[in-house]
């Protein structure tokens, strides 16, 4: 492995305009203290005695949560979010609201406090993490402190790129349509600063951020008939009930998983497959009369979907291309608007579907990516564990096949196939099953292990196993048909 040793002080003074700070030696340079970088480092601390230099341009760990809208929450249960070594959930189910009966969804403030505690109580006291907030990694192992301007150079054999997922959020993204300065346009972060009722609210974006904005407006008592929802593509959604860890949700999580594989195996075409996935409760859609063409893995509860159906003004004219003070131009037509109408930008796609896929392990570099669908932090933790327990780069990559991020409905096929193959390979790896069962970021392995001895549950597991091979066969057939193999 080629070391990332970057020479000496004199090289820096030749190349950089900033003042030289320190030469830092460590085993890993991790760029990004977002959820992915934090989950990776946490497992590295548990499984190795390595030292880490952790660099982030924000002042606090937690990545995009630092810039999130005030009413943001996790989309999936807190019980398996964060880092492996520290619980985030209170263990309680919500008793009110649209998430009632399901595991708590930490708010943005709770997520930030959590990552701060992980840094304060675990990373720094370990003496093995050298944390540099307010610092931009400028490439080649150098980073520049934003306030002092000092440039530090890290000599580390491995760089971990915790920025690759490149999560996009409304407050930091630039919309891809033109906006007339007279139009009232804001990221959803600014909704809470409104002081007067608007003539109406136009939410631009059919994804999870748009859904969050709509649910917030409705929860604050806005008349649904004053809301317009601009949806360029309808989406297949995941039912949050099926993402709940814990034995009491076995039939929602594991039985739906079995039903999913059976639906794939029994399907006769791609369209029939989606119908079956909806019928078995794996997929939800908000408007049953419209066939979705998008799938981003967004998660929602049945109650939230019902609430959204109260909004009747849904505009399906393609993407917005121009926002004027009196009209909104879309790809396939336009609708009127007014200067007193608030237009809410929810067009950022949290995880870019155009993301470059690359091997997780390359000489001198690790790029954490999704190796289990919809699970960035579990993926980062398992990648760190594989790094800690294997030397051979081919072997490491074989255990960490990238699960592509979905965009179109049919991307579900590739994502599911890649996820199933990883799960199969992990099951062959001595000790990995036990490691996953003990890792809180893996919401489901323990639920499966706890089923032993329960006849009903064992029958469900038998159904699941029986459906795996026929399901894989069908996925291969459809992927070949669609030219996606
Ligand atoms: C509203 C919302 C809710 C979500 N809910 C869930 C959920 O419930 N469960 C789930 O699993 N996922 C959820 N996600 C998905 C989310 O993408 C991941 O959970 C995760 O937070 C992504 O973390 P990250 O570390 O990859 O990215 P980020 O949070 O973007 O972190 C990247 C970090 O890298 C730093 N950085 C980038 N470039 C540089 C540089 N050159 N120098 C220094 N630092 C740099 C940034 O400052 C940032 O701190 C949600 C996403 C959103 C937007």
In this predicted model, what pLDDT tens digit does every residue of 377-432 receive, in sequence order? 999 999 999 999 999 999 999 999 999 999 999 999 999 999 999 999 999 999 99
Closest atom of ligand 1 to CA, residue 78: 8
The answer, yes or no, to whether any atom of ligand 1 lies below 6 A from the CB of 191, is no
Closest atom of ligand 1 to CA, residue 56: 44
Closest atom of ligand 1 to CA, residue 37: 25
Residue ranges of domains in the chain: 9-166+354-389, 168-234+292-350
Closest atom of ligand 1 to CA, residue 77: 8
Residues 351/167, Cβ–Cβ less than 8 Å: yes
Q: What is the whole-number distance in angstroms between the Cα of residue 79 and the centre of ligand 1?
A: 18
Q: In 275-300, which positions are buried (b, 16+ CB within 10 angstroms) versus exposed (e)?
A: ebbbebbbbbbbeeeeebebbbbbbb
- pLDDT at residue 20 in the model: 84
CA distance 156 to 455: 52
409-411-412 Cα angle (round to 5): 75
The answer, yes or no, to whether any atom of ligand 1 lies below 6 A from the CB of 142, is no
Test site for ligand 1: of 36, 60, 352, most ligand atoms within 8 A of the Cβ: 36
- pLDDT at residue 12 in the model: 45
Nearest CA residue ID for atom 36, ligand 1: 32
Q: Which residues contact residue 112 at a Cβ distance below 8 angstroms, ignoring those fewer than 6 apart? A: 60, 62, 65, 66
The answer, yes or no, to whether any atom of ligand 1 lies below 6 A from the CB of 33, is yes
Q: What is the whole-number distance in angstroms between the Cα of residue 232 and the centre of ligand 1?
A: 25
Closest atom of ligand 1 to CA, residue 374: 11
The conformation of residue 64, written as its DSSP 8-state character, comes to: G
Closest atom of ligand 1 to CA, residue 137: 42
Test site for ligand 1: of 53, 102, 163, most ligand atoms within 8 A of the Cβ: 163
Q: Please choose, from the candidates 423, 428, 359, the residue with its C-alpha nearest in 3D space to the C-alpha of residue 394.
A: 359
- pLDDT at residue 140 in the model: 85
The answer, yes or no, to whether any atom of ligand 1 lies below 6 A from the CB of 165, is yes
Test site for ligand 1: of 34, 102, 115, most ligand atoms within 8 A of the Cβ: 34
Domains 9-166+354-389 and 168-234+292-350 share a fold: yes
pLDDT in tens, 127-141: 999 999 999 999 989
Q: What is the whole-number distance in angstroms between the Cα of residue 253 and the centre of ligand 1?
A: 25
The answer, yes or no, to whether any atom of ligand 1 lies below 6 A from the CB of 292, is no
Q: Please choose, from the candidates 152, 331, 206, the residue with its C-alpha nearest in 3D space to the C-alpha of residue 214.
A: 206
Closest atom of ligand 1 to CA, residue 76: 8
The answer, yes or no, to whether any atom of ligand 1 lies below 6 A from the CB of 34, is yes
The answer, yes or no, to whether any atom of ligand 1 lies below 6 A from the CB of 441, is no
Residues 332/325, Cβ–Cβ less than 8 Å: no
Q: What predicted TM-score, i.e. pTM, was given to this entire model?
A: 0.94
Q: What is the whole-number distance in angstroms between the Cα of residue 38 and the centre of ligand 1?
A: 10
Test site for ligand 1: of 54, 64, 102, 116, most ligand atoms within 8 A of the Cβ: 64
Test site for ligand 1: of 39, 57, 212, 369, most ligand atoms within 8 A of the Cβ: 57
CATH classification number, 168-234+292-350, choose in 3.30.56.10, 3.30.420.40, 1.10.490.10, 3.50.50.60? 3.50.50.60
- pLDDT at residue 31 in the model: 98
The answer, yes or no, to whether any atom of ligand 1 lies below 6 A from the CB of 44, is no
Any idea how long the chain is? 485
Nearest CA residue ID for atom 52, ligand 1: 350
Task: Note down pLDDT in tens along the chain; length 485 residues.
Answer: 333 333 333 344 444 556 888 899 999 999 999 999 999 999 999 999 999 999 999 999 999 999 999 999 999 999 999 999 999 999 999 999 999 999 999 999 999 999 999 999 999 999 999 999 999 999 989 999 999 999 999 999 999 999 998 777 777 778 989 999 999 999 999 999 999 999 999 999 999 999 999 999 999 999 999 999 999 999 999 999 999 999 999 999 999 999 999 999 999 999 999 999 999 999 999 999 999 999 999 999 999 999 999 999 999 999 999 999 999 999 999 999 999 999 999 998 766 666 788 999 999 999 999 999 989 999 999 999 999 999 999 999 999 999 999 999 999 999 999 999 999 999 999 999 999 999 999 989 999 999 999 999 999 999 999 999 999 999 999 999 999 88
Residues 23/53, Cβ–Cβ less than 8 Å: no
CA 292 to chain centre: 21
DSSP-assigned letters across all residues of 102-168: SB---BHHHHHHHHHHHIIIIITTTT-EEEE-SEEEEETTEEEETTT--EEEEEBSEEEETTTT---
**Extended strands (E) in 401-475:** none
Q: Within a 10 A sphere around the Cβ of 303, how many other Cβ atoms?
A: 16
Q: Which residues contact residue 22 at a Cβ distance below 8 angstroms, ignoring those fewer than 6 apart? A: 152, 153
CATH classification number, 9-166+354-389, choose in 3.90.230.10, 3.50.50.60, 3.30.70.1050, 3.60.150.10? 3.50.50.60
């Amino acid at each position: 492995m080629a070391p990332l040793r970057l020479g000496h002080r004199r090289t820096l003074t030749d190349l950089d305009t900033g003042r030289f700070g320190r030469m830092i030696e460590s085993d890993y340079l991790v760029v990004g203290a977002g959820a992915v970088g934090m989950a990776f480092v946490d497992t590295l601390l548990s499984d190795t005695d390595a030292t880490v230099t952790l660099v982030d341009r924000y002042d606090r760990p937690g990545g995009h949560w630092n810039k999130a809208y005030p009413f943001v929450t996790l989309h999936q249960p807190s019980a398996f979010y964060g880092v492996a070594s520290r619980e985030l959930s209170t263990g309680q189910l919500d008793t009110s609201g649209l998430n009632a009966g399901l595991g708590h969804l930490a708010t943005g403030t709770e997520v930030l406090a959590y990552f701060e505690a992980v840094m304060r109580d675990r990373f720094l006291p370990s003496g093995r993490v050298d944390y540099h907030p307010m610092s931009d990694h400028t490439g080649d192992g150098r980073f520049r402190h934003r306030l002092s301007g000092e440039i530090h150079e890290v000599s580390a054999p491995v760089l971990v790129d915790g920025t690759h997922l490149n999560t996009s959020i409304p407050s930091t993204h630039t919309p891809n349509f033109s906006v007339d300065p007279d139009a009232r346009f804001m990221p959803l972060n600014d909704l809470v600063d409104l002081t007067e009722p608007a003539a109406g609210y136009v939410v631009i974006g059919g994804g999870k951020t748009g859904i969050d904005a709509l649910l917030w407006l409705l929860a604050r008592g806005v008349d649904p008939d004053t809301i317009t929802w601009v949806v360029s593509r309808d989406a297949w959604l995941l039912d949050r009930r099926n993402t709940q860890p814990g034995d009491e949700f076995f039939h929602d999580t594991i039985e739906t998983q079995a039903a999913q594989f059976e639906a794939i195996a029994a399907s006769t075409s791609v369209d029939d497959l989606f119908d079956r996935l909806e019928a078995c409760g794996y997929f939800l859609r908000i408007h049953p009369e419209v066939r979705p063409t998008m799938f981003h893995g967004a998660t929602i509860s049945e109650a939230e979907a019902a609430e959204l159906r109260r909004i009747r003004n849904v505009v399906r004219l393609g993407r917005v291309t121009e926002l004027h003070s009196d009209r909104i131009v879309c790809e396939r037509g336009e609708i009127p608007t007014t200067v007193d109408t608030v237009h809410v930008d929810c067009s950022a796609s949290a995880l870019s579907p155009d993301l470059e896929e690359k091997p997780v392990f390359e000489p001198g570099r690790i790029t954490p990516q999704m190796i289990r669908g919809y699970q960035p932090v579990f993926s980062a933790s398992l990648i760190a564990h594989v790094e800690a327990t294997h030397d051979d780069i081919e072997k490491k990559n074989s255990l960490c096949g990238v699960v592509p991020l979905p965009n179109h409905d049919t991307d579900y096929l590739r994502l599911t196939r890649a996820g199933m193959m990883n799960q199969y390979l992990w099951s062959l790896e001595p000790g990995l099953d036990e490691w996953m069962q003990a890792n809180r970021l893996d919401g489901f392995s323990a639920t499966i292990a706890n089923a032993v001895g329960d006849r009903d549950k064992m029958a469900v597991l038998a159904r699941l196993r029986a459906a795996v091979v026929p399901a894989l066969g069908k996925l291969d057939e459809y992927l070949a048909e669609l030219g996606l193999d």
